[in-house]
Amino acid sequence: MEIRELKIKAAQIRMDLLTIIHRAKTGHTGGSLSNTDILTALYYEIMNIDPAQPKLKNRDRFIASKGHSVESIWCILADKGFFPKEELETYSQFGTRLIGHPNNKVPGIEMNTGALGHGLPISVGMALAAKRDGLSYRVFCLMGDGEQAEGSNWEAAMSGAHYKLDNLIGIIDRNGLQISGTTEEVMGLEPLEDKWAAFGWNVVSIDGNDMESLVKTFREAPTVSGKPTLVIANTVKGKGVSFAENVPSWHHHVPSDEQLATAHAELKASIEQFRNEGLVH
């Protein structure tokens, strides 16, 4: 896909995720908006996956460690054809498969996640299994920045480096906000690049809402043989919706009817802008 097509797709996914959150009256809005560009790059351009064969042996694996920001994932999986798009209407309803965290009863979901700090250890195991089974798949693990306060991440970081898992790509959605404030107020993370590098990872820091940078970075990973890659994706929480951007309360705020209409109008305007860009890769 052209870069502008990926930008358009990300804006459409943002519209969809806002719709299902509004309908369900629940959801993690800000983080889903911030991670949409990352997920769009992975699912539409980078990962070797097939909706018709969701258990393909050599498929790339994606683990959403920050599983609370699941709405963008549900919308992408539906759009890709892993399940009928009509099922999105059941999000967070009684008896649905589409609950508030990834659920591996749904095709395309590798693991139930959401207890923060669990995704990277799982991903280390998957990447190690690929090495020992002689398979070429890569494992992508999306973490939150507030999640970096979990000690299990750092145990997994040591293991990933120790076993030279260059088929493992960790991604931090670095939007700087968590449920109770900024990450630096709650539990300071900086210097984050230096910490991960000290644990033996190749660290790349990029604009996580810039589609061209995301695609280029993920295509090149791993850039260092014998080292796992950590992508610090610097994003804006609430990205794409002017009144939600960088506002902590939108961590799990539900848009009103009026706010939904305004957000959709803004995203439609963005789509028109992207259509006129003509930017290709």
What is the length of the chain? 281
How high is the pLDDT of residue 181?
80
For tokens 């669990």, the residue is 118
Rounded Cα distance between 251 and 215, Å, is 26
Write the pLDDT tens digit of every residue in 94-142.
999 999 999 999 999 999 998 899 999 999 999 999 999 999 999 999 9
pLDDT surpassing 80 at residue 170: yes
CB 30 within 8 A of CB 237: yes
| pLDDT tens-digit map of 21-78 | 999 999 999 999 999 999 999 999 999 999 999 999 999 999 999 999 999 999 999 9
Whether the ω angle into residue 191 lies within 30 degrees of 0, i.e. cis, is yes
Tell me which amino acid residue 30 is. Answer: G
Alpha helices in the chain (DSSP H): 3-24, 29-41, 71-80, 119-133, 151-162, 183-186, 192-198, 211-220, 257-275
CA torsion angle for 39, 42, 44, 49 (degrees, to 10)? -120
Q: Tell me the domain boundaries of the chain.
A: 3-275
Q: What is the pLDDT of residue 280?
A: 46
Alpha-carbon distances of 76 from 14, 82, 158, rounded to whole Å = 10, 9, 32
Q: Tokens representing 83?
A: 């399940």
What is the phi-psi region of residue 141: left when phi exceeds 0, alpha when psi lies from -120 to 50, beta otherwise? beta
Tokens of 271: 């789509």
| Per-residue confidence (pLDDT) for residue 278, from 0 to 100 | 65
Residue 281 predicted with pLDDT over 80: no
Q: What DSSP designation does 85 have? A: G
Residues 6 or more apart whose Cβ sits within 8 Å of residue 269: none
For the chain, the C-alpha Rg in angstroms (whole number) is 18
Whole-number pLDDT of residue 277: 80
Query: Is domain 3-275 in CATH 3.40.50.970, yes or no?
Result: yes
Q: Is it true that the peptide bond before 102 is cis, omega within 30 degrees of 0?
A: no
pLDDT for residue 183: 87
Residue with tokens 């090495």: 131
Q: How confident is the model at residue 178 (pLDDT cuts 50, 70, 90)?
A: confident
The whole-angstrom separation of Cα 268 and Cα 251 is 23
Average pLDDT, the chain: 96
Q: pTM for the whole thing?
A: 0.96
- State the pLDDT at residue 174: 97
pLDDT at 128: 98
Dihedral Cα 74, 79, 83, 89, nearest 10 deg: 60
Best CA proximity match to 176, nearest among 145, 210, 153: 145
* Neighbour tally for 131: CB within 10 Å: 15
